[in-house]
Chains A and B, each alone.
Chain A
Amino acid sequence: MRIAITGIGIISALGVGAEANREHLLARESAVAPAQIMPTIHHEWPLGEVGLSNAQLARLAGQDEHKEISRNVLLGMIALREAITDAGLTKEMLSGMELVNGTTVGGMDLTEIHYGEWQQGDYSHIDTIFQHEAGMTAAMLQQCFGLANSTTISTACSSALNALVHGVMMLRTGVAKRVITGGTEALTRFHVNGFGALGILSEKICRPFAPDRDGINLGEGAAYLVLEDAEEAEKRGAKIYGYVAGYGNKCDAYHQTASSPDGDGAYGAMYDALRMSGLSAADIPYLNAHGTATPNNDASEMRAIERLYGEKLPLIESTKPLTGHTTSASGSIELCFALWRMETDNYKYAMSNAFGFGGNDTSVILSREQRELPMLPNIGQICMTEYVTANEDSDYKQYIPAMQARRMTPALRQLVVAAHKALEKAAVEIPDAIVVGTQWGGMIPTVELLKQLTATGEQGISPMQFMSSTHNNAAGTLARLLSCKGYNATFSHGKNSMSEAEAQAALLLMTGEAKSVLVCGYDEIAEGWQEYLRQAGMYAENIAKAKVMVC
C-alpha cells in the first residue's frame, strides 16, 4: 500500500501559509527574536513567535476576535483550513474524516491568564477551563471544519510526528481512507518558564550541533498534512506531494528529560523507519534532525546518526534556528520542511526526526516517488486481560526505587503497581509497547507550577515539577521502570482518552509492530483544580488502571 501526502497547511514564525514558510525556509531566514506578542518578563530568551496578536489570528481564522479562544486553537484553525483547501477536500469528504492532532499546551495560555482570578474565587472567566485540556483543541478544530471525528496524541515534542504515524497506521489497516494529521502548539509562559527552569534556553539564536551550542529557542506554530491511500488520491485526481515510506517510534527509557549518551531511542526510531522503507541509510541524503541545540540532545542524536550512517553522513539540517523549537507542532512543521527540501534540492528521499521528553523518539521517511509500505502480517486473534486497578494502599515500594518514587505523584505510583499486576496476569515480562490514556495529564505538578507562576510572576518555577507535568510523563516513567524501549504514546482526548489508547494498541497489533501492548489509564485530582472544574460543571477522577493486549 502507498500513502500519499495530498495537502499541506502551515503557520510558524516564518509566516502564514506554505508559500511564506517555504520562501523563508529556503532563504534560511531566522524569525527568532525577543518576545513581542506573548506577555512575559523574559526578554533574555528569544522566541520564534508567529508575529500576529490573538485578535489578528482570530480575524484570519474567521472567528470573533472578542471571544476567548486559545492561541493553540487559532493557530490550528489557520493551518488546518489551508491543508483542507490545498487538498481539495469537499464538505462531504470532511464529514467522513478524522483529525489526528498533536498538542501538549492545549489552552494553557488562557489558564495562566485566569488562574489568579480562580484562586481568589472570581469565576467570571471559568468557561475557559474547558479549553485547558489538550484534547479540547482537536475537538474544537473538528467542530469548526465539520470533521467526523478527532483524537489527540500528547508526547511532548514528538506529538505531531506521532500523530502522523497514527494516521498512517489508520490508513494501513483500512480504518480510514484519508486522514488529516499534524499538530499545533502556541507559546505559553508556562512552558517558556519551564524550559527556562531546566536551564536549557539560549539567550542567542540557537546553534544546533555547533560546539558552542547552549540551548533552545522556543517557538510556536501549527502544520497539518492530509494523508490518503494513494489509490483513492489518484482516483480523485489529487495532486501528490510525496509518499510516506516508513516510520519508527522508540522510547529511550533513560531519563525524564535527558537523552541517553548512545542515543538508543533515536537510533531505534530511525532504524525502524529505514527497515520499514526497505531502504538503506545511504539512500537517504537529507535528514531534518530534531537538533534542539542543547548540548545533550545534539550529542545523543549525532551519536545515533553516526551509528546508523557510519562514516558517510547525510546532509543534516536543523531548522530550529529559523522557527524556534515549536515543541508539539515541530514534527509536522519540520516534515513540511523536509518535503520542500526534497523537492527543491532534488532528493529522492528525506528523513525527519522529532524527539520528546521521556525519550519519546520518532522518525519518518518521505519519498518523492511512489513507494509501497510493507503488507500487513496475519496476526490471529487479539486477546486482552481485564483492567487491573490499584488504590492508595498499594505497596509501590517493591516496584519503584525510592529515588524515582520521590518524583512521582500517588496516582502515578499506583499506575506502576497496576501495570506490574496486569503484566503478571498476562504472563508478559516486558511489553513490546506502552500506550497511556489520560484526560488531564500530570495535573498535580501542573497546578503546583500554575501556583508558582502566579505567586512569583515568572521568577523561578520548579524544574522537577515541570518535567513531571507533561502528559506523557506517565508513559515515559513506565517505560523506564519496565525497561520497555518499544513504541510509546499517550492519548489525551477527554473522556475518550482510554478508548483511544486501546484503539492505538489494536493498530500496533494489527500492523505487527507489537505482539504485546501495555494499555494504561491514568488521571489525578489536584487540590484547588477540582473546585474550579466543579464551577464549570466538570470533574476529574483518580484513575490508575492497566491491561495487556496481545496477539
Chain B
Amino acid sequence: MDNKELKEQLKQQVIEVLNLEDITPADIDDAAPLFGEGLGLDSIDALELLMLLDKNYGIKFSDRNQSKAVFASIDAMAAYIIANRKK
C-alpha cells in the first residue's frame, strides 16, 4: 500500500470511528489540523484515535501526550504509521 492509499484508508477509518456523518474523505485536507480549528475534534476523539492506531496498526503509546504531534494532520498520522506499524 502506498502513502496515498494509506491516507485514503485512514480518512475512512477516522470518519467511521468518530461518526463524522456529514464528512467524506474528500472533505479532509491531508495537511489540515485535525484538532482545534481544522476538523474541530476534541480530547475524547484523540482517545478514540489512539484506539484506532492500536487496533488497526498495532501501534501503542506509552505516554499519551506523545501522540499529540502524531494527530497533527492526516499527513502526520500516515507518516507515523508507515514508520511504526506492527500490522
Chain B contact residues (Cβ within 8 angstroms of A): what range? 10 to 19
**B36 at the A/B interface (Cβ < 8 Å)?**
no
**B85 at the A/B interface (Cβ < 8 Å)?**
no
> B55 and A460: CB pair below 8 A?
yes
Q: Which of A126-134, A403-411, A427-435 contacts B (4 or more CB under 8 A)?
A: A403-411
Residues of A within 8 A of B79 (CB): none
**B24 at the A/B interface (Cβ < 8 Å)?**
no
> B55 and A257: CB pair below 8 A?
no
| Residue in B21, B43, B48, B51 whose beta carbon sits within 8 Å of that of A405 in the complex | B21
Nearest Cβ distance between residue A204 and chain B, in whole angstroms? 16
**A467 at the A/B interface (Cβ < 8 Å)?**
yes
> B48 and A463: CB pair below 8 A?
yes
Residues of B within 8 A of A463 (CB): 44, 47-48, 51
Nearest Cβ distance between residue B63 and chain A, in whole angstroms? 11
Residue of chain A at shortest CB distance from B23: A402
- Give the CA-CA distance A519 to B18 in the complex, in Å: 30
Per-position 1/0 for B8-52, Cβ under 8 A of A: 000000000011111000000000000000001011110110010
**A198 at the A/B interface (Cβ < 8 Å)?**
yes
Residue of chain B at shortest CB distance from A452: B51
> A199 and B64: CB pair below 8 A?
yes
| Residue in B20, B21, B44, B54 whose beta carbon sits within 8 Å of that of A464 in the complex | B44
Residues of A within 8 A of B19 (CB): 406-407
**A530 at the A/B interface (Cβ < 8 Å)?**
no
> A406 and B20: CB pair below 8 A?
yes
- Give the CA-CA distance A280 to B78 in the complex, in Å: 57
Residues of B within 8 A of A258 (CB): 43
> A406 and B21: CB pair below 8 A?
yes
Chain A contact residues (Cβ within 8 angstroms of B): what range? 10 to 19
**A256 at the A/B interface (Cβ < 8 Å)?**
yes
| Residue in A198, A402, A467 whose beta carbon sits within 8 Å of that of B21 in the complex | A402
Chain A contact surface mostly: loop
- Give the CA-CA distance A197 to B50 in the complex, in Å: 10
**A462 at the A/B interface (Cβ < 8 Å)?**
yes
- Give the CA-CA distance A326 to B18 in the complex, in Å: 30
Residue with the highest number of chain A CB atoms closer than 10 Å, among B18, B40, B44, B55: B44
- Give the CA-CA distance A542 to B44 in the complex, in Å: 27
Residues of B within 8 A of A198 (CB): 44, 47
- Give the CA-CA distance A122 to B42 in the complex, in Å: 40
Nearest Cβ distance between residue A416 and chain B, in whole angstroms? 16
> A256 and B40: CB pair below 8 A?
no
- Give the CA-CA distance A197 to B42 in the complex, in Å: 15
Residue with the highest number of chain B CB atoms closer than 10 Å, among A198, A257, A405, A463: A463
Nearest Cβ distance between residue B65 and chain A, in whole angstroms? 10
Residues of B within 8 A of A257 (CB): 44
- Give the CA-CA distance A73 to B55 in the complex, in Å: 37
> B47 and A197: CB pair below 8 A?
yes
Residues of B within 8 A of A402 (CB): 21-22
Interface residues of A in 445-464 (CB under 8 A from B): 460, 462-464
Nearest Cβ distance between residue B23 and chain A, in whole angstroms? 8
Residue of chain B at shortest CB distance from A255: B42
Nearest Cβ distance between residue B16 and chain A, in whole angstroms? 11
> A403 and B40: CB pair below 8 A?
yes
Residue of chain A at shortest CB distance from B39: A403
Residues of A within 8 A of B48 (CB): 462-464
Residues of A within 8 A of B21 (CB): 402, 405-406
> A199 and B47: CB pair below 8 A?
yes
Residues of A within 8 A of B64 (CB): 199
Residue with the highest number of chain B CB atoms closer than 10 Å, among A197, A198, A403: A403
Nearest Cβ distance between residue A473 and chain B, in whole angstroms? 13
Residues of B within 8 A of A199 (CB): 47, 64
- Give the CA-CA distance A405 to B21 in the complex, in Å: 9
Interface residues of A in 366-418 (CB under 8 A from B): 402-403, 405-407
Per-position 1/0 for B50-75, Cβ under 8 A of A: 01001100000000100000000000
Per-position 1/0 for A188-219, Cβ under 8 A of B: 00000000011100000000000000000000
Nearest Cβ distance between residue B31 and chain A, in whole angstroms? 21
- Give the CA-CA distance A123 to B21 in the complex, in Å: 37
| Residue in A256, A405, A460 whose beta carbon sits within 8 Å of that of B44 in the complex | A256
Closest 9 pairs (CB-CB, A-B): A406-B19, A463-B47, A402-B22, A463-B44, A464-B44, A460-B51, A406-B21, A464-B48, A403-B40
15 A-B pairs (CB sep. < 8 Å): A197-B47, A198-B44, A198-B47, A199-B47, A199-B64, A256-B44, A402-B21, A405-B21, A406-B19, A463-B44, A463-B47, A463-B51, A464-B18, A464-B44, A464-B45
Supply 18 further A-B pairs (C-beta < 8 A) apart from A407-B19, A460-B51. Answer: A197-B47, A197-B51, A198-B44, A198-B47, A199-B47, A199-B64, A255-B42, A402-B21, A405-B21, A406-B18, A406-B20, A406-B21, A460-B54, A462-B51, A463-B48, A463-B51, A464-B48, A467-B44
Binding site for A on B (CB under 8 A): 18-22, 40, 42-45, 47-48, 51, 54-55, 64
